[in-house]
Amino acid sequence: MIRLLMIGDIVGRPGRRAVKDNLPGLVQEQSIDFVIANGENAAGGNGITREIARELFACGINVITMGNHVWNKKEIINFIDNEIRLIRPANYPPGTPGKGYGIYNVNNNVRIGVFNLSGRIFMPELDCPFQSAGAILPLLKEKCNIILLDFHAEATSEKIALAYYLDNAISAFCGTHTHVQTADERILPGGTAYITDVGMTGPYESVIGVKKELVIEKFLTQMPRKFEVAAGLYQFNAVRIDIDEETGIAENITRIQNFE
Amino acid sequence: MIRLLMIGDIVGRPGRRAVKDNLPGLVQEQSIDFVIANGENAAGGNGITREIARELFACGINVITMGNHVWNKKEIINFIDNEIRLIRPANYPPGTPGKGYGIYNVNNNVRIGVFNLSGRIFMPELDCPFQSAGAILPLLKEKCNIILLDFHAEATSEKIALAYYLDNAISAFCGTHTHVQTADERILPGGTAYITDVGMTGPYESVIGVKKELVIEKFLTQMPRKFEVAAGLYQFNAVRIDIDEETGIAENITRIQNFE
Amino acid sequence: MIRLLMIGDIVGRPGRRAVKDNLPGLVQEQSIDFVIANGENAAGGNGITREIARELFACGINVITMGNHVWNKKEIINFIDNEIRLIRPANYPPGTPGKGYGIYNVNNNVRIGVFNLSGRIFMPELDCPFQSAGAILPLLKEKCNIILLDFHAEATSEKIALAYYLDNAISAFCGTHTHVQTADERILPGGTAYITDVGMTGPYESVIGVKKELVIEKFLTQMPRKFEVAAGLYQFNAVRIDIDEETGIAENITRIQNFE
Amino acid sequence: MIRLLMIGDIVGRPGRRAVKDNLPGLVQEQSIDFVIANGENAAGGNGITREIARELFACGINVITMGNHVWNKKEIINFIDNEIRLIRPANYPPGTPGKGYGIYNVNNNVRIGVFNLSGRIFMPELDCPFQSAGAILPLLKEKCNIILLDFHAEATSEKIALAYYLDNAISAFCGTHTHVQTADERILPGGTAYITDVGMTGPYESVIGVKKELVIEKFLTQMPRKFEVAAGLYQFNAVRIDIDEETGIAENITRIQNFE
Ligand SMILES: [Fe+2]
Ligand SMILES: [Fe+2]
Ligand SMILES: [Fe+2]
Ligand SMILES: [Fe+2]
Ligand SMILES: [Fe+2]
Ligand SMILES: [Fe+2]
Ligand SMILES: [Fe+2]
Ligand SMILES: [Fe+2]
C-alpha cells in the first residue's frame, strides 16, 4: 500500500508556515510515502518563485501542482522546464512552457503518475479537460499503476463529472481552487478516491486567503482593490489517500484539517 | 437555546424521500425546534410546485428557501404570495412576486427571522446581496433575536465575504447552491454560525443530482442534453445550529450527512 | 473576380421572408457568384430544420453556416451528416455530428472553401478557435484559392485578433452572432476582407430578433421569459465581397442593408 | 435645434491625437453645440488622469463619460468629486466617488442632461441599469429637455432593450465599450437617437486599441500579457445628433469616421 498526501492551495507566508509546521510530523506519524501540493498561491498569494518552490520541496513536498495563477510570478517561465517536480494544468495549449504531468518514483520501487488539469466553467479558456485527460492517461498508464489528478476547477458539476469519467482509470481525483475543503471525500464505485476540493493551506481568518476587509470593500464598492494575503493564524488542509500499488485502487481517503 | 436544522438543496424525488425518511426522526432525537430547507430543486430537479411544497411542510419543514431555480415551475407565481413559509432570494428587483424574508414563531414564544439571498458571481444579475442584506436586517432585527440567512451562491469568496460582513448581525449563515457540503462549519468571531455550503439532499450517485451519464456527455460533446434527476439511493445533507435565544449568538454548528 | 455574398444570422419567418424578397434580385443585379448565410436562428428563432434549410437553398443560398444555436432543433442531427452545404462551428469536439468546413464549386471552375468557428469569450466552452483554424487551413488551402470564414463570436477583441491572425491566409473573415451590423468593413493589410459582424436578417423592430417587450421584461424582472421572434417588417443585412480568384486576395467589401 | 457630438472610447495617445486633430474642425464646420466623449481608456489605454481630462476639455470636449475602466488610474478619486464635467456609470453602488449624471448649459440658454450607465451582461456586478435609469430620469427631466445616455455595455441585447425601454424618455442613447462602431444608427419610434456602439477613437491597426501581436499571443498561449496601446495612425469614431430643444426629440443621427 502507498500512502499519498495531497495538500490544498498553499497561500502565501501563512500557508508556507503551515506546511513547515505540519508536514514533517504528518509524514512521520502517518507514514506518508509521497506528498503533492497545489502551489499556485504560494508566492505572496499568487504564483510561485524558484526560491519558494525550493522551500516547499525542502519541507518534504515531492510534487507541486498549479492552477489559474500559474504564471502570476513571471520567473516561473525560467525554471518550469527544468523542474520536473513542478507541473501546471496540462490543458494549456500545445507549446506552453512546462509540463502537465510527471512520473515519479515512490519508495524507490513504485511509480506514480501525477497530472494537473484546469476546469473551464467560470475559468480561463483552456483546452477541454475531458479530452486532455483522455490523451494523457495512456501515457501514464503505460508506466504507472498509481495515478493522481489535481483538477483545479470552480464548478462542482465539472469536478464530479470528470471524476466519474475517470473513475477506475485513476487512483485519486483531488479537486482544488475554491480554497474551501468539501466534506464529500469518498471512494467512487470504480475505486478512485475523490474529493471535490481539498481546501486551502493559508490564513484562517480570511476570505480564501485574502484580508477580509479588502474583499468586503471590493464587493461593497465594486472598485478595484489590491488584494493582500491575510496575516494571523493558519489552517492546513489536506487529504490522505491509501492506494493498493498492484491494482492502483484507492482503499481510503481521509480529510485532514490542522489549525494553528 | 433554540436548535435549528438547515437542509441543503432538496433534489427531486430522491431528495424528498430523504426528507421523509430522515426528518421526523432527526427532529425528535435531536430536539430540533425549527427546520429550514432549500427547495429550489424539489420538483423534478428544478423549481417547486404547490403540492410539493405542501408535501415538504407536512414532513416537518417550517420554511422553504429558494435560489436561481425559483421560477422553473411557473405555478409558483400563483401561490408564492400567499405562502409565507416559502421565500425566494430577496435581491430580485422590487416588484417581484413573493418575499425575500419572513418572521416565524418557534416554540410559541421565540421569533426567528429567515432571509434568502442570491450571489452575483457566476450567477444571474440580481441586486447587490450586500446592499440587500443591509436593507433587510433592520426590519428583522427589530422583531427577532434569531436570524438565519440562506445565501445561495457559487463563489466561495462571495459567500465568505458576506458572512464576515454579517458576522454578529445574524445568528446563522448557511450557503447553498453548489450541492456539495463543505467541511468548514464554524462559529465566526462575532458569533455567527457559518458553513460555505450545506450540500444537497438528493441522489447519491449523481452529478449534483443529475444522471451522471448525461452530464458527462454534455461535457464531452458540448451539445445540449436534457438533464434528468438521477435514480437510486439518496444522501441527506444538513446542518444543526444551536442559538442562544437571548443574544442571538450561535453556540454550535454541526454537519449532518445521512445515507440511504 | 469572384463575388460572394455573406448574409447575417437569418432570424425566423421575417428573416426567411427577407431572404426570399431580396436574394434573387441581389444575385442578378449585383452579379453575385456564391451566397453564404448564417442560419442558426432560421427556425423559429433558434436552430434549423431540414425543411427550412431546403427553403433557404431554394432561395439561392449555397452554404449555410451555424453558431451556438446549431443544435436547438434536434432534427439537425438526422441530416447534417448528409448535407454538405450545411456546416457548423469546426471547433466542436472531435466526433461531433456534421462538418466544420466544406469545399464548393463556384461557376464550375473555381473552388471556394468555407469554414465556421465559434468564439470562446462569453460563449460555450469549445476547442480553441485559433488552434482549430490552424488545423483546418492547410486542408482548405491545398484545394482552394478562395477561403471564407464565418466566425460566430461575441467579443470584438476575439474577432479582430483572429482576423489579424488569419490575415492573408484567408480571403474573407465575416463575424456573426451579435445580430448588429458593424461599420468597420475593410480590407486588412494582408488582403483579407473583414467585418466584425454582418448583422441580422430578421425583424426590424426587435431586440436582436426577439419581441422587445419580452426582453425588456426579462431585464426588469430577472424572471424567465419564453422568447418569441418579433413580427413586423424585416431588415436584410449582408456583405458583398470581391475576391481575385488567382490570388485569393479580397479587393472589396461592401455592406448591404435592405429594409422592408 | 441643438447639435451634439458623441465621441467613442478615446484610447491612449493616438486617441487623444485624433481628438486634437479632428475636433476643432468638426465643431466649426458642422456647427456642433456640445461634445460628449467616453474617456475610460484615455490614459495609456485604461483610466484617466486629471491632466488628460484637462487636455480633453481643452480640445473642446464638454463632458467626459466613463465605463468599466473608470478606476484604473487611481488619482481619479482625488478629482472626480470636484469635476462636474466628468461622470462615471451611475449604477455603481450608493456612496461611490463621483456622479453618474450632470446637467450642463448649451449655448447659454439650453440645458442638457447627460448620464452614464454600465451594462451587467458579461460585465462587473453593478446595480441594475434599468432601475438606475428609472431613478435618474425624473431628476433630469425636471430640469432638461435634452437628455443623452452613454450606455457602456457589451451585449447587444442589453443595449437595444434598454434603448427601447428609454425610447421617447431621452433624446439620445449612445452605446460604447466594444470599441467597434455599429452600422445601426437610427431614430427609434419614440424619437430617441440610437446607436449600439459609437466605436473607438484610437489606433487603427490594433485589436480594440491594443497592439495586435500581444492580443493574438494572449489568445494563442492563454498566458498573461501586459497589453500596450498600439502605435501608428488613428481612427476617429463619433456620432452627430440633432435634437429639437423644445421637444427633446432627435431629428437625425449621423455616424462619423475619420482616419489619419
Ligand atoms: Fe488557489
Ligand atoms: Fe485557482
Ligand atoms: Fe440547487
Ligand atoms: Fe442553485
Ligand atoms: Fe444568431
Ligand atoms: Fe449566436
Ligand atoms: Fe473602452
Ligand atoms: Fe469598457
Confidence of residue B198 (pLDDT cuts 50, 70, 90): very high
Q: Does D208 touch chain A if contact means CB atoms closer than 8 Å?
A: no
Q: Distance between CA atoms of C211 and C209, rounded to whole angstroms?
A: 7
| HSE (side-chain half, CA atoms, 13 Å) at D65 | 32
| pLDDT tens digit sequence for A151-206 | 999 999 999 999 999 999 999 999 999 999 999 999 999 999 999 999 999 999 99
C-alpha cell at D53: 481630462
pLDDT of residue C109: 87
Q: Distance between CA atoms of C239 and C237, rounded to whole angstroms?
A: 7
pLDDT of residue C115: 98
Minimal Cβ distance to D180: which of C122, C165, C182: C182
Residue C88: closest CA among C44, C23, C121, C132: C132
Q: How high is the ipTM of this complex?
A: 0.97
| pLDDT tens digit sequence for A31-68 | 999 999 999 999 999 999 999 999 999 999 999 999 99
Q: Are the beta carbons of D162 and C219 separated by less than 8 Å?
A: yes
Compare all CA atoms of chain C with the CA of A120 and give the residue at the minimum distance: C125
Residue B154 has pLDDT above 90, yes or no: yes
Minimal Cβ distance to A93: which of C93, C121, C131: C131
Q: Return the residue matching grid coordinates 445540449.
A: B224
Ligand with an atom nearest the CA of residue D69: 8
Residue positions of D in the annotated binding site? 9, 40-41, 68, 152, 177, 179
Please identify among residues 90-119 of chain A the ones whose CB lies closer than 8 Å to any CB of chain D: 92-93, 95-96
pLDDT of residue D220: 97
Q: How far is the CA of C68 from the centre of ligand 6 (A)?
A: 5
- Partners of chain D (3+ Cβ pairs below 8 A): A, B, C
Q: How far is the CA of A153 from the centre of ligand 1 (A)?
A: 10
pLDDT of residue B78: 97
Q: Does A224 touch chain D if contact means CB atoms closer than 8 Å?
A: yes
pLDDT > 70 in chain C, percent:
100
Angle at B222 between CA B217 and CA B228, to 5 degrees: 45
| pLDDT tens digit sequence for A202-256 | 999 999 999 999 999 999 999 999 999 999 999 999 999 999 999 999 999 999 9
CA distances from A72 to A15, A53, A67, A75 (A): 17, 14, 10, 9
Domains of chain C: 2-259 (3.60.21.10)
* Spacing of C-alpha B84 from chain mean position: 15
pLDDT of residue C108: 83
B179-202 mean pLDDT: 98
Compare all CA atoms of chain A with the CA of D127 and give the residue at the minimum distance: A222
Query: Catalytic residue at D69?
Result: yes
Residue B202: closest CA among B237, B234, B239: B234
Compare all CA atoms of chain A with the CA of C131 and give the residue at the minimum distance: A93
Q: How far is the CA of A204 from the centre of ligand 1 (A)?
A: 14
Q: How far is the CA of A92 from the centre of ligand 7 (A)?
A: 29
Confidence of residue C177 (pLDDT cuts 50, 70, 90): very high
Neighbours of ion ligand 5 (CB under 5 A): C 9, 40-41
Q: Are the beta carbons of A189 and B205 separated by less than 8 Å?
A: yes
| pLDDT tens digit sequence for B37-82 | 999 999 999 999 999 999 999 999 999 999 999 999 999 999 999 9
Dihedral through CA D113, CA D116, CA D121, CA D126, nearest 10? Answer: -110
Q: Does A131 touch chain C if contact means CB atoms closer than 8 Å?
A: yes
Q: Are the beta carbons of A93 and D124 separated by less than 8 Å?
A: no
Q: Does A223 touch chain B if contact means CB atoms closer than 8 Å?
A: no
Q: Distance between CA atoms of B193 and B254, rounded to whole angstroms?
A: 10
Task: Write the single-letter amino acid at B45.
Answer: G
pLDDT of residue A62: 98
Minimal Cβ distance to C71: which of B72, B125, B223: B223
Minimal Cβ distance to B96: which of C92, C125, C221: C221
Q: Are the beta carbons of A95 and D222 separated by less than 8 Å?
A: no
Among candidate residues C16, C17, C69, C159, the one labeled active-site is C69
Residue D214 has pLDDT above 90, yes or no: yes
Q: Does D135 touch chain B if contact means CB atoms closer than 8 Å?
A: no
DSSP of chain D: -EEEEEE-EE-HHHHHHHHHHHHHHHHHHTT--EEEEE-TTTTTTS---HHHHHHHHHTT--EEE--TTTTSSTTHHHHGGG-TTB---TTSPTT-SS-SEEEEEETTTEEEEEEEEE--TTS---S-HHHHHHHHHHHHHHH-SEEEEEEE-S-HHHHHHHHHHHBTTBSEEEEESSSS-BS--EE-TTS-EEES---EEEESSSBTTB-HHHHHHHHHH-S-----B--S-EEEEEEEEEE-TTT--EEEEEEEEEE-
Q: Return the residue matching grid coordinates 475619420.
A: D258
Residue B109 has pLDDT above 90, yes or no: no
Residue D109 has pLDDT above 90, yes or no: no
Write down the mean pLDDT value for chain D. 97
D154-180 mean pLDDT: 98
Q: Does A127 touch chain B if contact means CB atoms closer than 8 Å?
A: no
Q: Are the beta carbons of C93 and A131 separated by less than 8 Å?
A: yes
A12-17 mean pLDDT: 98
pLDDT of residue D244: 97
Distance from CA of D188 to the nearest CA of A (A): 33
| pLDDT tens digit sequence for C50-96 | 999 999 999 999 999 999 999 999 999 999 999 999 999 999 999 99
Distance from CA of C250 to the nearest CA of A (A): 31
Residues A237 and A256: beta-carbon distance below 8 Å? yes
> Does residue A40 have a known ligand-binding role?
yes
Q: Distance between CA atoms of B67 and B177, rounded to whole angstroms?
A: 7
Q: Return the residue matching grid coordinates 502605435.
A: D231
Q: How far is the CA of A44 from the centre of ligand 2 (A)?
A: 14
CA distances from A25 to A31, A38, A61, C49 (A): 10, 19, 13, 66
Consecutive H or E run containing B6: strand B2-7
| pLDDT tens digit sequence for D4-17 | 999 999 999 999 99
| pLDDT tens digit sequence for C242-260 | 999 999 999 999 999 999 9
Compare all CA atoms of chain C with the CA of D161 and give the residue at the minimum distance: C216
